[in-house]
Structure 1
Amino acid sequence: MKIIDFHYHPLSPLVDFLPQPMGLLRKRNPEWVKRFANIPSARDILSFLDEEEIDYAVLLAERIPTVTGIISNEYVASLCKGEPRLIPFCSINPALDIHMDVMLEKLVKEGFKGIKLWPSYQHFYPNQQNLYPLYATAQKLGIPILYHIGTSVFEGTKLKYCDPIYLDEVAVDFPKLNIVMAHAGRGFWYDKAFTLASLHKNIFLEISGLPPSKLLEYFPRLGRIGSKIIFGSDYPDVTSIKKNVDYIKTLPLEPSVIEAILGLNADKLLKIFA
């Protein structure tokens, strides 16, 4: 069984992060802060993934300077270069970037395999018309868009922007665009997120940041859409990726569903195993 972590934050160098998120990380995962106090190399990350028994990880750039800081596209690209187990996702900020479609084409040519957008951090509604050229380009290039859809404790977050309902319009207008909801509507949008993933062939639920022990409480019918659920850890906001994976393996679901959640569904979008 191949394991893909669809939501891994490299989160270094530490100097790029603002005091509030850095304080939360020191409290929640002091071992990570100690281990990666210096800028980690790709080898450091791969060694950690080996310890956690993770085969592949999606490394996320973060172009959100007013909330957590900036993990640049260039930094993520440098970590992933020549390392097929590390899959780079770029970040584009609608408040800062113009000609986002052109920017995305350039980034994909440089090797990025997807894009992460942060509506509640970057303060935009996902169905804004100025984003449509970006979506058309992502659809043409065949890359997924990962959206932060759920609550957050970081200062500056405005939750109104990440209500899942805005993705309904995007899914209809771009039927071949693969849309992934990170955090699966965490907080008070679980039912909406589940409904959208059930209705739309191109919407997926990514479960990063959710305790595996709560998954069937949040989504009692999870097994019915097992082909739409994608594993992500949200590391380093969890202390052990392996523990989460091991718990998911114990859920009362068909073995084929568990295998799909932990790797095969992500591979549909990333095409790693082909």
Structure 2
Amino acid sequence: MIDGIRVTDCHIHIHPWRELRDDVLEVLRRGQDFERLVEVMYDPRLLLEIMDAEGIDRVGLVNYPAPEVMGTDLRTILHAARYAESAPDRMMWYGGVHPRHTTDPAGDVDRLVEMGMRMLKVHPNHQALPANAYADGLDAQAEIYRRCEALGIPVLIHTGTSVFPRARCKYGNPLEIDDVAIDFPDLRIVLAHGGRPFWMREAFFVLRRHANVWFDLSGIPPKLLPEWFPKLAELEHKLLWGSDWPSPGVTGMRRNVDQFLALPYAASLKRAALETNPERLLPPLPLTGGLGSR
């Protein structure tokens, strides 16, 4: 807890780093205590220690299949699912289904949900296809969205650029989510990163236009929020806090929270982003009595 707020960081990354592509690992090494982070990626006790030290109540473990760019596949998702089992009241894992690498899109979604997936991640830049590729005939993508819509599973969609090799940044334009929100009106969509650093106006348009689109603030330096989103207060009811830790340039979860709390926003907006909105979208699970119970 920080300043009386139960903080949910909706967007961090726990991957089996030893299985990622070598050039991806080189990017992750920059400015990081790399060896220590590798230990964290395989030991949930270490993550819980960091969360406790930094006052973070819950985290969302973001994972998705992107074999061509990152080297991630179903094994990465299963790693996160096992990792979160140690403290399911504090760790929520997200997974994904790659529409070009599935023969059973709806069934694959069902299996992840049965395992406990809380949100499905789509990464257009790393999966080399737009968020609305179904409009050009990629039926598997539409089936994935349709199944998440039917099951009430939110879909987290990356927007903006990516620094990793082979990433196709042209697919990061948030306007493509406009189609998804129209075509799947009951699907809860989370727009990640606000289209940074090129498409912030497009992101704000989509967020304000569609009641079912939420705003994941991760990957945006907090000090830039007033400049990039001068009317952020209009979105108070749909803001979700995230740090993107330990992505390059993000050295800690608490540091970003402190910077956000120092901004000249209303206390209600800060609590909404850090606590109440994440708890509405992803309700806390009962305490388990295991490693993560308090």
TM-score (norm 2): 0.88
Counterparts of 1:140 and 1:69 in 2: how far apart (Å)? 30
The number of aligned residues is: 271
State how far apart, in whole Å, the 1-side matches of 2:182 and 2:254 are. 36
The correspondence for 2:255, drawn from 243, 252, 270, is 243
Mapped pair 1:15 → 2:18? yes
Q: Please point out which of 188, 194, 197 is paired with 1:178.
A: 188
Structure 2: any 5+ residue segments left out of the alignment?
A: 287-294
- Structure 1 residue runs without a partner (length 5+): none
Partner Cα separation in structure 2 for residue 148 and residue 200 of structure 1: 17
Query: How far off its partner does 1:271 sit?
Result: 1.5
Distance 2:214 2:38 in 1: 34
Supply the distance in 2 between the matched residues of 1:127 and 1:155 (Cα, whole angstroms).
Answer: 23
Counterpart secondary structure, 1:64: coil
Task: Give how far 1:210 is off.
Answer: 0.9
- The corresponding residue for 1:87 is 92
Distance 2:207 2:12 in 1: 22
Residue number among 121, 128, 138 corresponding to 2:126 in the alignment? 121
* Deviation sequence 1:115-141 (CA, Å, 0-9, x none): 111111101121232112111111111
Moved over 6 A (4+): none
CA RMSD of aligned residues (A): 1.5
Counterpart of 1:34? 35
Aligned to 2:45: 43
Distance 1:5 1:100 in 2: 28
Which runs of structure 2 are paired with 1:1-274 in the superposition (5 Å)?
A: 1-12=5-16, 14-29=17-32, 31=33, 33-38=34-39, 40-70=42-72, 72-83=76-87, 84-129=89-134, 130=139, 131-237=141-247, 238-272=250-284
**Post-superposition CA distance 1:158-182 (Å, at most 9, x none):** 1222211111111112122111111
Deviation at residue 36 of structure 1 after TM alignment = 3.1
Letter in 1 for 2:255: K
Conservation of the 8 A alpha-carbon contact between 1:62 and 1:69: no
* CA distance in structure 1 between the partners assigned to 2:130 and 2:6 by the alignment: 35
Contact 2:15–2:79 under 8 Å retained in 1: no
Identify the residue that residue 292 of structure 2 maps to in structure 1: none
Percent identity between the aligned chains?
32
Task: Name whichever structure is richer in strand by fraction.
Answer: 1
Q: Deviations over 1:165-216 (max 9, x none)?
A: 1111111121221111111101211000011111100111211111101111
SS at match of 2:194: strand
CA shift digits 1:203-249 (9 cap, x unpaired): 11211111101111100111111112211111102102111101111
CA distance in 1, matches of 2:37, 2:222: 26
Superposition deviation, residue 78 in structure 1: 0.3
CA distance in 2, matches of 1:273, 1:87: 9
TM-score w.r.t. length of structure 1: 0.94
Partner Cα distance (1:211, 1:46) in 2: 24
Give how far 1:263 is off. Answer: 2.1
Do the aligned partners of 1:182 and 1:208 also contact (CA within 8 Å) in 2?
Answer: yes
User: Which moves more between the two structures, 195-204 or 261-270?
Assistant: 261-270
- The one-letter code sitting in structure 2 at the alignment partner of 1:21 is V
